[in-house]
Amino acid sequence: MLETILIVLVVAVLIVLLLASKQPETFQVTRSASMAVPPETVFVQINDLQKWEAWSPWAKLDPNAKNSFSGPQAGVGASMSWAGNNKVGEGSMTIIESRPHDLIRFKLDFLKPFKASNTAEFTFKSEGNNTVVVWSMYGKNNFIGKIMSLIMNCDKMVGGQFEQGLSAMKAIVEAAG
């Protein structure tokens, strides 16, 4: 009996490893929203990391998270570190590229609950009197990431948070604009 259980367990582990090995090497999550303001109005909300708390979905998941800032307040080199509950984890982000009213790119380093380094970016495109803001995150799927993708859908989970953040940002910039 014990031998049968052990064989079934080994086969199950091998199946999980085989399925994980077939998962994509990279991932990307992208969401967009149209906002009734010019690109420069939205750009300021993102380029200044100290403004993120007003619209970030993660700020609402842990209002007691400890945030710290370094470097310039906005633009290339601006950095924010956070440590919070198990819903927000621990990590840092640094603006590595900032082109006014066009693109902001971040290096994201997650420490908890899993170590990972990814890239996030916001792009801005004028459409009449509106700005279409596109928020993306992409990176490489290490083997643990591939295994995790078998049990949870990163696009739905993170994408849903991006949608909440874009909605909150839209409310802020349109109310002020």
Q: Where are the beta strands (DSSP E) in 58-158?
A: 66-70, 79-83, 90-99, 103-112, 116-127, 130-140
Predicted pLDDT at 101: 92
Predicted confidence at residue 156, as pLDDT, reads 74
Of residues 25 and 49, more confidence is placed in 49
Separation CA 111–CA 129 (nearest Å): 40
Question: Using 50, 70 and 90 to split pLDDT, how confident is the model at 124?
Answer: very high
133-149: per-residue pLDDT in tens?
Answer: 999 999 887 766 766 76
First to last CA, the chain: 70
pLDDT of residue 72: 96
- Inform me whether the pLDDT recorded for 126 exceeds 80: yes
Instruction: Classify burial at 24, counting beta carbons within 10 Å of its beta carbon; exposed 0-12, middle 13-18, buried 19 or more.
Output: exposed
Digit-coded pLDDT (tens) for 62-79: 888 999 999 999 999 999
pLDDT at 17 over 70: no
pLDDT value of residue 88 = 87
What residue segments make up the domains of the chain, in order of their start?
A: 26-176
pLDDT in tens, 97-123: 999 999 999 999 999 887 889 999 999
Separation between Cα atoms, residue 139 and residue 91, nearest integer Å: 16
**Sign of dihedral through CA atoms 53, 96, 176, 125?**
negative
Read off the pLDDT of residues 149-161 as tens digits, 9 standing for 90 and up.
667 666 777 889 9
Residue 78: phi and psi, rounded to 5, are -65, 135
Predicted TM-score (pTM) of the model is 0.81
Q: Which of 73, 89, 90 is nearest to 81 (CA)?
A: 90
The fourth-level CATH superfamily of domain 26-176 is START domain (3.30.530.20)
